[in-house]
Amino acid sequence: MLEAAHREMTELSKKKQDGVVNTLKIKMLNRLLGELSMVIEKDPSHAFVDMLDEETLPQNSDAVLILSQWQAALKQYRARHYGFDSEGSGQRWFTVENPGERYRS
């Protein structure tokens, strides 16, 4: 969903970079970002991501930048917590509950 939102905002930004994102889009995007925030809240990358500001109504290009930061943070989170399990049979998530050798907090 984040990828689709980023793609849509990128297209809007190409048409009108300084166009203002409407309130409905901001609410929809923030609902998605809020869920993602809970996933990475203890990850170091969480400190570098922001929600869209409903009060100042960001421009399309600002929204693209913020969504790009979220994509990078999630990519970093995945690299840190997902991978090959030498003890098991292939790829898996490494969690606090099921850390395996590879888990790095």
**Per-residue pLDDT tens digits for 32-76:** 999 999 999 999 999 999 999 999 999 999 999 999 999 999 999
Average of per-residue pLDDT across 7-29:
96
Q: What is the DSSP string of 21-80?
A: PPHHHHHHHHHHHHHHHHHHTTSGGGGG-----TTT--BHHHHHHHHHHHHHHHHHHHHH
Contacts of 5 (CB under 8 A, 6+ apart): 28, 29, 32, 67
**pTM of the full structure:** 0.87
Domain boundaries, the chain: 2-93
Tokens of 47: 């400190």
* Residues above pLDDT 70, as percent of the chain: 95
Tokens of 82: 């997902």
